Amino acid sequence: MSIDVLQEKIRKFKNPVMVGLDPYLPILPQHIVQDAFAEHGQSLQAASTAYERFCTELIDALKNIVPAVKLQSACFEALGADGIAVMQRVSKYAKEQGLYVLIDSMRGDVGPVAEIYAQAMFGEVPIGQSLHKLYECDALTVNGYLGSDGIKPFLPYCKREGKNIFMLLKTSNKSSREVQDLLSGDRVVYTAMADLVMRWSSDLYGKNGYSEIGAVVGATYPQTLKLLREKYDRLFFLVPGYGTQGGTAKNVQFAFDRFGHGAIITASRSIICAWQKEGSDGTDYLSYAVDAAEKMKKDIAKHVVIL
Amino acid sequence: MSIDVLQEKIRKFKNPVMVGLDPYLPILPQHIVQDAFAEHGQSLQAASTAYERFCTELIDALKNIVPAVKLQSACFEALGADGIAVMQRVSKYAKEQGLYVLIDSMRGDVGPVAEIYAQAMFGEVPIGQSLHKLYECDALTVNGYLGSDGIKPFLPYCKREGKNIFMLLKTSNKSSREVQDLLSGDRVVYTAMADLVMRWSSDLYGKNGYSEIGAVVGATYPQTLKLLREKYDRLFFLVPGYGTQGGTAKNVQFAFDRFGHGAIITASRSIICAWQKEGSDGTDYLSYAVDAAEKMKKDIAKHVVIL
């Protein structure tokens, strides 16, 4: 269900882009940081306030251009409890604004611990007779190194509650080859991981034919994207590595099927830090972000037509 | 440095056991839950209060028996911001009580995001001119599926600040074979991962000969423990899967070198939930935990002599 929702949002916007919200003080415009310091001193609360303003302003500016956002969990976690409170609120705000929300935490626990985590992220936390919803989260990134025991706890949420998980197959970083490209028989580790995803997907296909369990494949490896697209025609791809990391619109075309479906491209710094590259003082960071998002949409549209 | 500290603590207690603090409402003694509900209602705050009492009481009860504790991050994360605040406080309390503290989050990010995470967990978070320490954390579990880019951000903390990371090699769960046991040439994926750890370890050996980068190998695979112990004589093993998951004292003997060094065995539910098995009402859960920890120490001592 949810993978259909994501695809429909992409079609509506004609834009297969997910903006990564990775707040971090050194990349925030100075006026946001200074306002927060003036109110709360140089505290974790100040930083959290600044992150919240930065993320919600970006959501407001981008919500009519992009269908989805990705919250980088580690950035919020790095402010401790204050940061987590902001991640909870930002996820809810993004959802209220109509966006598909992915929380990028790349977790990989197993057994009861993974069940507890899945429930907290996707469901409601039971306390006595009451239920508490922490996040509004459509999807999570998950590390499958531990095998099925780490994935199964998420599947009921994918099946019944319209949630998605995206398994790490081939990540965009340079050293991803060290483990992910190891050859095993006629497969490499990341295709073995893809085969596992297919096994878990058996009763989890959306109306558009794609599995509710997607796969992370980096824009920096276009040949891999192409091979995986051909072999795994029912895996929806989440594609990081565009922009700052070197992935281009030409690269990412291979992630899509012939209808221009089946993939979404993430971009973080190239959009949310666009003002830094241009030498602005940051007060107009939102218009830089909008311009960068529009440009990315146009660049991809040169290579991918979304029917 | 830190791996020496851990080994010395183990020698001092003659006990290679790390107790896992995995708080979760259904496993908490009823009196702790009821007291918290009475004070805060059926809220996230109540659950957090209960977790904090449970963990600090266990720390007080066990600090003269075991050298180390492991905080299960997902359990705390599942209470959102309130839970994270408690994890921060519990880590500090455990450290004050002289314990070696591992936070078990099995994260695996890369690049700037991993740097932000490593700094938050091991260092201090800079906000303006001020520095903020979130955790007292000697060690983290790390998932190396993304390769060196995910590990390098932690190495300066291992080298200069006496911190350790433990890489997932062969985890204790049943389905760990699906990815970790894939054969690649004359290696399997988990030995390829071990080879990477050795590469990263080149200038990171403690005085006891062990690397500051340890390895997670499950108690449920004794033959694997034996083979890895023989082949990687400089990797310190963190061994989960004892007790509830089926690992025995006989199994885990293979994790140790001939001096009884080089490994620590984790146990969570078999100690912190010992009262449930015995049919107690939970008011005396601490004495059950102490008995279970003492028994585990004795059981291991039958097979491992720590010189």
b/e map of A166-181 (b: 16 or more CB within 10 Å)?
A: bbbbbbbbbbbbbbbb
CB < 8 Å to A193, chain B: 179
Judged by CB atoms closer than 8 Å, whether chains meet at B81 and A88 is answered as yes
Closest Cα in chain B to A218 = B146
Q: Which residues in chain B are closer than 8 Å to A143, comparing Cβ atoms?
A: 106, 108, 143, 145
**pLDDT attached to residue B1:** 60
Q: How far is A11 from chain B (nearest CA, A)?
A: 30
pLDDT at A277: 82
Question: What is the spatial distance between Cα A56 and Cα A71, in angstroms, rounded to a whole number?
Answer: 12
Angle at CA of residue B114, ends A294 and A163, nearest 5°: 60
User: Would you tell me which residues 123-162 of chain B have a C-beta closer than 8 angstroms to some C-beta of chain A?
Assistant: 125-130, 132, 134, 143-150
Residue pair B240/B255 in contact (Cβ under 8 Å)? The answer is: no
From the CA atom positions of chain A, what is the Rg in Å?
Answer: 19
For residue A72, the chain B residues in CB contact (below 8 A) are: 113
Per-residue pLDDT tens over the stretch A127-141:
999 999 999 999 999
All residues of chain A having their beta carbon less than 8 Å from the beta carbon of residue B107 are 74, 105-107
Return the residue of B nearest to A178 by Cα.
B147
∠ at Cα A244 (A300, A301), nearest 5°?
5
Q: Which residues of chain B are modeled with pLDDT < 70?
A: 1
> Out of A113, A127, A175, whose CB is closest to B74?
A113
Residue ranges of A 65-124 with Cβ closer than 8 A to chain B: 72, 74-75, 77-82, 84-85, 88, 105-114, 116-117, 119-120
Position A179 scores a pLDDT of: 96
Q: Would strands B164-170 and B139-142 be described as parallel, antiparallel, or unpaired? A: parallel
Q: Which residues contact A297 (CB under 8 A, 6 or more apart)?
A: A14, A15, A17, A65
pLDDT at residue A222 tops 80: yes
Helix (H) or strand (E) holding A164, with range, is strand A164-170
**Residue position matching structure tokens 């059981």:** B299
Q: Report pLDDT for B212.
A: 97
Using CB atoms, which residue from B78, B85, B149 is nearest to A117? B78
pLDDT of residue A42: 98
Residue of A nearest to B46 (CA): A127
Predicted confidence (pLDDT) per residue in A228-242, tens digit: 999 999 999 999 999
- Amino acid at position B145, single letter: Y
Which of A37, A125, A149 faces B79 most closely, judged by CB atoms?
A: A125
Contacts of B39 (CB under 8 A, 6+ apart): B46, B49
Contact A90, A56 (CB under 8 A): yes
CA distance B55 to A3: 40
Q: Which residues of A touch B132 (CB under 8 A)?
A: 43-44, 80
Q: How many angstroms away from the CA of A76 is the closest CA of chain B?
A: 9
Chain A hits for B273, Cβ within 8 Å = none
Of A33, A128, A143, the CB nearest to B37: A128
The ipTM (two decimal places) reads 0.96
Which tens digit of pLDDT belongs to each residue from A153-162? 999 999 999 9
The pLDDT assigned to A1 comes to 60
B108 to A143: CB separation less than 8 angstroms, yes or no: yes
Percent of chain A at pLDDT exceeding 90: 96
Distance CA A291, CA B172 (A): 49
